[in-house]
A and B are shown apart, each in its own frame.
Chain A
Amino acid sequence: MKQTLGNTGLVLQEPLLWEKGRKGRSGFSFPKQDVPSIGISPELTGPGPDFPDLSEVDVVRHYTRLSTWNFSVDTGMYPLGSCTMKYNPKINEKEAGLSGFQNAHPLLPDRLNQGALQLIYELERFLTAITGLDAVSVQPTAGAHGELTGMLLLYAYHKSKGSKRTKIIIPDTAHGTNPASAALCEYRPIPVKSNEHGILSVESIAQVMDEETAGIMVTNPNTLGLFEENLTRISEIVHAKGGLVYCDGANMNAIMGIVDIGKIGIDIMHLNLHKTFATPHGGGGPGSGPVCVLKHLEPFLPVPRVVKKEGQYVLSDDFPKSIGKLHAFYGNFGVMIKAYSYIRSMGTEGLKNASQLAVLNANYVKERLKGVFHLPYDRPCMHECVFTDKIQQAKKISALDIAKRLMDYGFHPPTIYFPLVVSGAIMIEPTETECKEDLDSFIEALCAISREAEENPDLLRQAPFSCKVKRLDETSAARHPCLAG
């Protein structure tokens, strides 16, 4: 194959913060001491933290060197399945950095925060337009926070009907956050297996749905990258027994402008602004997990809500059935600005096109790698495709080895060992912002790795070779935790 992206360069060592610096240095420009200093009772004071003293240059070099040890979307393709690592537009960062947004205080009177409130109000309306659901709260700050909000809505809904339910149906393909969120509302998860096509069957839900069950948590498209074709009929069964249908919308990137969520029996859905709406993931957040609902659940949404009164945007707590507050203020406003900017840059056509191309890219990768890697569900996929390490297992090569070797070729590995229903899963989500040449390089790299697995499997077991560190000892990290220096 032609020259690969992966290469080695000068990687500088950098010690831990407290291994550098000298007492008396400072990286901070102090304002004048223009008032007298007053004595304080020594009973109240402490010694102050034991931090290193560093100069401004020390700090800048430290973090710049650290940053070079990271792979990121701006470095290269990041096909981490279920995470939608699409390009994060720079203009959105610039808008979120506007002083009027960055310096807005959350507890000033509404009339002094009209710009911020208008943005929240309009973003919520855009998300109703995109999903087809009726009302939105952008207060939840991450996907799992949105799930918890969804479960609290479900709980409050049943409570308002005077019905105490104890169980919730969760398919085996679900994200781990689903059962964990349900457990916070004291619901016992009832697992359901997907069928031979990788989706839920109507019969399997009919068998377990009863009047003790609060509802079902589905992910659609599911984590195998497949559309839940039976969802409308499944919803009818759940609704007939008084339950609600919750949808994990982490995979909305496949269906913007294509599927009408309001029509397929879903009552509640969360979105991840840090996936579908191009806000950066920041190495683990901050995110934003808006919750969208049908009309009959709107009274339960978190407060305060932004409403419009006589041309003014107002924060209102006047929703007596609300589940309450989930964040000290109104959620991750800084993230909302970026998603808002993205939606206004893309428009109706742009968002629909993004979904179409995300699905095209995933199917293209699937078709080209079919045969090279085992494809457990050989049918048209949505925005991601799931392979396994079955073929390479013949040489005792695992998904982990394949993932590690891919780093040497200059790509971030796909998600591995998830979903759990597939043994040795390799879950690839290219996203729409990858061009054909980069997809081709990625495919060629995986083909080369599969040849290496045949010819020189030990190479894969030792990989990666060109990263800052070799494989790390995770077992001893967990057995003898060293969590602070």
Chain B
Amino acid sequence: MRYLPHTPEDLESMLKVVAVESLEDLFKLIPRDCLRTDDMDLPAAMSEWELHDFMSGLADKTAAGPAWKLFIGAGSYEHHIPATVAYLSNRSEFVTSYTPYQPEISQGTLQAIYEYQTLVSRLLGMEVSNASMYDGATALAEALLMALRITRKKHLAISSLIHPLYRRVIRTYLEPTGAELIELPRSADGTTDFTLIKEMPELAAVALQSPNFFGCLENLSPAAGLIHKQNGILIACFTEPLAFGLFKNPGSQDADIACGEGQSLGIPRSFGGPGLGMFASSMKYVRSMPGRLVGQTKDKEGKRGFVLTLSTREQHIRREKATSNICTNNSLCALTSAMYMASLGGSGLRDLARLNYDKTQYLQSALKKAGFKIPFTAPTFNEFVVQFPSGFKTVHERLMEKKKIAAGLALEPYYPDLPDHYLLCVTETKAKEDLDALVREVQS
């Protein structure tokens, strides 16, 4: 096996040093009844060439070729990824290093993550970002746990327009804590009705997603005003951070914690993972924050350098009193997103967000013109809901089978009161012809 370098001569001399007869003898302290009596039942080893043929065959069995036109986002977005980002993020020095515990020989990762924290703080309008969480859903779950810790209260309110799968993850995380979770209903315009907060004293936090699962922008400031009056925390969640290139960010709307999914910033969809859990807050809460933080400092000669810091919050020091159990996070994805943000720059991010918005508006008005109903009137970014005529399901399936078009995601499995409602997503990857073709096909 090419990854195992030991020659028979190496083995012989090394076994002699260890003073055992054979490789099997290395395990003689293990009690006999713990040992395997059979071989592991695995397929025979493949050569590199066999493996690649086989894996290529598997990869061909997904709807991912250029012929496919997917108008589905819902937390996993198709955006162009510059060749430079893929190339640079695959450099061995970044890919095959561990968490930067030894800063003198990890300055590459450390400076890059410090830059990531800075870019994320600026994008979200927050004071401090951590080095990443697993994904948007777990970032939100940790934000809610953080709010429970800070406020020492037991009740949480979350919008029913937060990604339905995120809400399921939250329930899993909160189950043993005994915290009470209340879901806020939606208004007719496709945003959250948070007026109920007023009648709920003792809330630790309210969590809203903007743009929300229907693609609509939430007005966070009034919600912040209400929750701050009861000394609670406003958590602003997101699945599409590109929106903040154009629209107001969570920080400018008084969010205390901003968290969500950063996959759309240069990370492939990869069947839903790995993504990037983004997590930022105001500085006053930094010592309650989960996750790793990189800080700037100086070396003995006064030269600028970077280290992991504030680790007294973390599991390896605080053990059961830590702010989270997180250790390995999604560092390489954070680095990738920083490369992507650096490639776009401030001007580019704004232009790209604008292009996403324009294309989405174009499709939305074309569908409206064709007689389809746009049920929610709140402003949107690159996703919106369409109400198709009843029985559209067969058209939807036919387009998928025959035309390789995914005309949005059916909302009914997540919102049973919304049959025939579909969530559509348009990004810069779709040309005008693709949008025109979609409008034609859904009418056929």
Contact = CB atoms under 8 A, between A and B. Distances in A.
B293 interface: yes
B34 A231 contact: yes
A344 B172 contact: no
Contacts, number: 691
Interface in B127-148: 127-129, 131-132, 134-138, 145
Interface stretch (B97-105, B153-161, B199-207, B228-236): B97-105
Contacts of B272: 106, 327-331, 333
A388 interface: no
A179 B320 contact: yes
Interface stretch (A110-118, A204-212, A452-460): A110-118
Interface stretch (B11-19, B181-189, B369-377, B384-392): B11-19
Contacts of B46: 344-345, 347
Contacts of B354: 37
B227 interface: no
* Best-buried of A59, A68, A337 by chain B (most CB within 10 Å): A59
A347 B136 contact: no
**Chain B interface extent, by class:** 35 or more
A35 interface: yes
Given A35-B432, A105-B76, A115-B61, A182 B320 contact: yes
Contacts of A349: 45
A360 B15 contact: yes
B406 interface: yes
A396 interface: no
Nearest to A403: B102
Given A112-B400, A185-B176, A16 B342 contact: no
A469 B345 CA distance: 29
B102 to A, nearest CB: 6
Interface string A13-41: 01011100101111111111111111011
Nearest to B120: A484
Main secondary structure of the interface of A (DSSP, over half): loop
A99 interface: yes
Contacts of A326: 138, 169, 172-173
B100 A114 contact: no
B415 interface: no
Contact of B45 (A41, A232, A344): A344
B295 A482 contact: yes
A434 interface: yes
Contact of B96 (A72, A189, A333): A72
Contacts of A40: 246, 357, 379
Interface in A300-330: 302, 323-330
Given A27-B82, A189-B320, A70 B97 contact: yes
B316 interface: yes
A324 B168 contact: yes
B144 to A, nearest CB: 12
A173 interface: no
Interface string B236-256: 000000001111110010000
B26 A360 contact: yes
Contacts of B292: 284
A464 interface: yes
A483 B295 contact: yes
B328 A285 contact: yes
A285 B175 contact: no
A334 B270 contact: yes
B109 interface: yes
A23 B319 contact: no
Interface string B74-100: 111010101010101011111111111
18 contacts: A27-B343, A35-B362, A37-B354, A49-B249, A105-B406, A108-B72, A115-B60, A141-B274, A144-B325, A181-B325, A184-B173, A256-B40, A324-B168, A328-B138, A328-B166, A328-B261, A347-B42, A473-B298
Given A48-B347, A113-B61, A264-B34, 15 more contacts: A34-B432, A69-B106, A71-B93, A71-B97, A74-B95, A91-B51, A98-B56, A100-B61, A101-B58, A232-B33, A282-B95, A283-B331, A363-B26, A472-B103, A483-B295
Shortest Cβ-Cβ A-B pairs, 9 listed: A329-B272, A347-B45, A100-B59, A282-B332, A115-B61, A106-B272, A284-B331, A286-B274, A53-B345
